[in-house]
Structures are given as structure tokens and as C-alpha cells.
Chain A
Amino acid sequence: MTETALSLAAAVRNGDRTARSVVEEHLTAIEAREGDINAFNLVMTDSALAQADAVDAQVAAGEDPGPLAGVPLALKDNMCTRGVATTASSKILEGWEPPYNATVVDRLATAGAITMGKTNLDEFAMGSSTENSAFGVTHNPLNLDVVPGGSSGGSAAAVAAGFASLGIGSDTGGSIRQPASFCGVVGVKPTYGTVSRYGLLAFASSLDQVGPLANNVADAAALYEAIAGHDHMDSTSIPLPALPVSSELDHGVEGMRIGVISELDGSGIEGISADVQARTRAAVDALAAAGAIVDQVSVPSVVYGLSAYYLIAPAEASSNLSRYDGVRYGLREDGANNEAMNIASRTAGFGDEVKRRIMLGTYALSAGYYDAYYGKAQKVRTLIIDDFAAAYENFDVLVTPTAPTTAFEIGAKTEDPMTMYVNDICTIPSNLAGHPAMSVPYGVGDDGLPIGVQVLAPLLGEVAMFRAGAALERSLV
């Protein structure tokens, strides 16, 4: 798709195009390729057209239809939509229609964006490939034999395939950035607490963050501005408005201090492929050529991030997912008494990866192991935050690869959970620290598949992060 989300919105706002024609065009694209890609759990044809007509009526009446007027958007199916099935790609929520909208969903509607459908994900966002889904595997639009990444693989694939101009994902350990890297799109995990989690089906509450996917940095910035800002329905929401990032995108990186994390450049942690290392170096060189001051920096404790994450996230998940008990919503299987019903419902409703993480989390929190596992992992979190703080005394943003490799073949890593988890090694530290980070496409690997480069920033450092991301994007043209 050559048209950007912002150019579509401008055309709809000034009456050059109708929102209906934009939506119909995207529905045609979905019809042509969705059978091969399986990005959506649900395509919302009727409501998308109705939303488009409402936008067109606003334009005709001279009202402001919002900054994203008529822009087709793909919504990850772990965000609540009132009266519309919301599944988290789990059998346990089969048939559930939430009685409320996620705050993000309301804000998108206010901004004029059109929700085209609910996108596939790894069940409850637990995965890095969109293979752990009750709705089947999503295929990468650039090569149907490889995964789109995950867990926001459906949204990333929908944007890459031109099914929607914008996508919404959620990122607990890299679930927006890694699929963005695999599908060749931009993916942003904003600062923890800047985008409301109200109506996001919780996975790991101290790590989860909602964020944008888009075909370019400016579109991602506009989407971030539409969804960020304080929400009284989320007690962890930071009481600040969205940071003004769009107006800063052209300001460049002249004099910006950019650090390359040495532990994640291929010389430290093993498994980062040569082509990913090469593209990351090329990105760093381009930033230097654009006037940035570039140097290596050590953030030693990031090497413990993967282990700490796979204790903390399952621990929080084991608690969050205790609510799926067959009592108030979703699947209920018969049982002779209440406990038997709970067990039967959970056993039938959850897939293997979710069960694995619930059990791992239960173990990490259990008597005798709490201090050794969960408690220690929380201390690692402090070490990572402290190491980042030291690095940011000398640097404005940091750069790493987004994922260790390009997209891998479907089925290649489903047998061994640990090899799948290693995908998140570069993205996890930002979740543990609560910091913003974004993936920007930066060329392709030896296999011709996209490679993303990650820009990290300190808490509420979105302005510098987006500036660096925009500079990277410009350097490719």
C-alpha cells in the first residue's frame, strides 16, 4: 500500500475520498488474501461500513471526524469490544461478548479510525509466533511458509498485507516489536502506564502495554497520540497527556547521543544472526552519518532479563488467569461440584502454552520457591533499571536488534518452549524496566525477509525515541 494512514485521513477529512470507499478497498484486499494469511479471528464488515458512513456523515455536516478519520485499523483480539466477540484466541472465551469497550477502543472511535476486525494472537498473548491459537496459525504475508511473529502477529500481518493501514497490539515481552520486525512494519511499545490497560485482557499486569503498528513512523506516531494519555479506569495509568511526538519527527538526530548495547550486539549473547548484526550496524552507521554521536555502552544485567521475565510474567499470569473459572463468562464444562467444574472448564479451555505458563508461575510463587524464583527475578528487574539509568546518564537513546533472527518457518520452534522464548531476548529488558521501545524496519536478511532495528529510550522518552526512529526510516530512502 502506497497510501499512508495520515494521507488517507487527510483525504477523508477534506472530502477527497469517502471513508466508505477506503473501507471497501481494504475489505476487497482482505477478501483476496485473508484465506491464505488468517490474520483475523473476526472481520467486522458490517460495523466497519457503518462506522465509515458515520465518518462520512460527519464530514458532510462540517464536523471534525477526528485525526484518523476513515483509517482502517486491525485490533488485536485481546481488547474488549462491547457486544463483539473477544477471545484472546482462547477456547475458554468462546462466545464471550464483553459488556464494555477497552479505553483504547473508545479512543480509536473518537479519533475516527475504523476497526476492520479482531486479529489473531498467541493465546492470551503468550507466544512469539501466533501459532498457539485456537483460531489456527497466522501466516506471514511476505512468505506464507514463515510465522508473522507474535503475539500480535495478526495485527502485524494485517498491516503488512494492506488489510488495514494501522494495527493495535499489546507488548508484554516484545509482542508488538518482534512481529513488526518479522513483517517489515513499525511497532511501538510505549512507556508502561501511558496507554490505558482498561479492557485489555490481562496477561502480566506489571509488563503489559498497548501500542501501535503501522507502515511508517509518522503513522505510528499519530496512532500513539490517539491512544495515549491518562485514564482514570486504569490505576496504573500515568497522569499525563500523550507526549507530542508527531511534531518532533523531522527534528533529526544531530548531536543526539546514541548507545549500542554491547551485550546484545552479537558479541555478548549468542544466537543473534550475522545478517541481523549487519543490519543493526548499518542502522547505527546511518544515525552517525545523520549527525548522532554513537558509542558502545554496556548494560550488564540485560543478560538476566530472559530468565527474570519467564519467572515474573508466568507468575503474574497464573494470578490473572485464575479468573477463568467457568463461573461468570466463557466456557463452562460440567462438574459434579464447583471445583470439579472449575477444573474441567480450565482444562478444556486453555491450550498447552497457557497451561505451561500458569504452572510455571504457580511454581515460582509457591511456598519454598518464592524467594529463589519470583523474589529474585524482581531484584533482577531493579538491577536492569539501575543499569539502564547509568547508561542514560551518557546517552539519549539506545539501539539493539529487535529479534535475533528473521521470521522462522511455521512449526520450527513449537516443540521446544525455551527456543521460542529466546526470540524475546532483545525486547524483554524494556518491559522489565517499563521503558518505551520501537522496532523500525531496516532492510532484509539473507533470506530476503525483513529485519527490524530497535530504538530504546528511558521512561517517557518517546520524543527522542520517535526522532531516532524517523531518522532511521529516512536514511533508508
Chain B
Amino acid sequence: MSSPISREDVAHIASLARLSVTEEELDLFTGQLADILDHAADVESLDAHDVAPTHHPYPMTNVLRADVVRPSLDREEVLSQAPSTESGQFRVPPVLGEA
């Protein structure tokens, strides 16, 4: 049985998930993810074309509340937990280009 996921696939999804993986980790994760996806072949091959998907176990739609202003989290308390802040905002490295 061919592997359901390749080393290149794993490198690609790691990059999509903003994770850096070493060559050794690529080998390890590719094998482990292939095992899990092999097990999932029973679901993949199931004929369920006429079955509706369930997104949520308890059917509720349009959960609304009155549009009333309420106190929220304290700004200073929230910012005190950030790795870096400036002028009351979160500070991050440059978004574009090299620093």
C-alpha cells in the first residue's frame, strides 16, 4: 500500500502551520502521520455521499444578545502579558522584508 502522505507533503504542511522541522523530524513525522492516515482509510473509503455533515453536536443557530456595552478585559492587564508592547499596543518585528 502506498503511503498516504509524502515527505514533501509533511514539509509543506509544516510550513503552512508555521512550524520548522529538521530532516530527522521530517522522517519521524512522515511515518507517524502515514500510520494515522492509514488507520483513517476506513473513514476515507466509507460511502457516505447521502449523509449530511455534523459540524456541531447541539443544534443552535444565531445566538444573539442585546447590543449593550459591557466592561471587557483591562487593557493594561492584557498588555502586561505580551512579550513586547509599545504605546499601548502589541509590538512585533517588521512584517515585510528583512529586519
Contact = CB atoms under 8 A, between A and B. Distances in A.
B18 A99 contact: no
Contact of B83 (A332, A379, A433): A332
A105 to B, nearest CB: 15
Interface string A307-335: 11011000000100010011111111011
A336 B99 contact: yes
Interface residue tally on A, bucketed by range = 35 or more
Query: In the complex, which of the residues B10, B13, B77 has the most CB atoms of chain A within 10 Å of its own CB atom?
Result: B13
B93 A382 contact: no
B74 A359 contact: no
Contact of A307 (B33, B40, B60, B94): B40
Contacts of B60: 193, 236, 238
Contacts of B20: 343-344, 347
Contacts of A366: 13, 16
A392 interface: no
Contacts of B5: 363
Contacts of B39: 306-307, 310, 418, 421
A334 B83 CA distance: 11
Given A338-B93, A379-B51, A385 B19 contact: no
B46 A304 contact: yes
Query: In the complex, which of the residues A193, A335, A363 has the most CB atoms of chain B within 10 Å of its own CB atom?
Result: A363
Interface string B8-46: 011001101111110000000100110111011111101
Contacts of B96: 337
B84 interface: yes
Nearest to B72: A100
Interface in B63-95: 63, 65, 73-74, 77-78, 80-84, 90, 92-95
A341 B85 CA distance: 15
Contact of A238 (B10, B14, B41, B58): B58
Interface string A329-369: 11110111111111110110010000110111011001000
B48 interface: yes
B54 interface: yes
A206 B48 contact: no
Contacts of A379: 46, 48, 51-54
Interface on chain B toward A: helix, strand, loop, or mixed SS?
loop
A448 B18 CA distance: 46
Contacts of B44: 372-373, 376
A360 B33 contact: yes
A48 B19 CA distance: 39
B5 to A, nearest CB: 7
A323 B36 CA distance: 25
Query: In the complex, which of the residues A339, A341, A433 has the most CB atoms of chain B within 10 Å of its own CB atom?
Result: A341
A189 to B, nearest CB: 12
Given A304-B43, A362-B16, A99 B73 contact: yes
B67 to A, nearest CB: 13
A421 B80 CA distance: 38
A391 interface: no
Nearest to B42: A307
A98 B73 CA distance: 10
Contacts of B90: 327-328
A232 B81 CA distance: 25
Contact of B57 (A304, A343, A346, A432): A432
A232 B66 CA distance: 11
A4 to B, nearest CB: 32
A422 to B, nearest CB: 9
B43 A359 contact: no
Contacts of B80: 99
Contacts of B42: 303-304, 307
Contacts of A303: 42
A417 interface: yes
Contacts of A252: none
A147 to B, nearest CB: 20
Given A326-B83, A421-B36, A336 B57 contact: no
Query: In the complex, which of the residues B53, B55, B96, B97 has the most CB atoms of chain A within 10 Å of its own CB atom?
Result: B53
A376 B82 contact: no
A362 B17 contact: yes
Given A206-B57, A378-B55, A380-B46, A310 B18 contact: no
Given A310-B36, A360-B33, A459-B57, 14 more contacts: A98-B81, A99-B77, A206-B57, A236-B56, A236-B60, A236-B63, A327-B82, A335-B93, A342-B18, A355-B19, A358-B17, A382-B51, A417-B32, A432-B57
Interface of B: 5, 9-10, 13-14, 16-21, 29, 32-33, 35-37, 39-44, 46, 48, 51-58, 60, 63, 65, 73-74, 77-78, 80-84, 90, 92-99
27 contacts: A99-B77, A192-B58, A304-B42, A311-B43, A329-B82, A330-B83, A337-B96, A337-B99, A344-B20, A347-B19, A347-B21, A356-B33, A358-B17, A359-B13, A359-B33, A360-B36, A363-B5, A373-B44, A376-B43, A376-B46, A383-B51, A385-B54, A417-B35, A418-B32, A421-B39, A459-B57, A459-B58
Nearest 6 CB-CB pairs, A to B? A434-B57, A378-B53, A332-B83, A381-B54, A379-B48, A99-B77
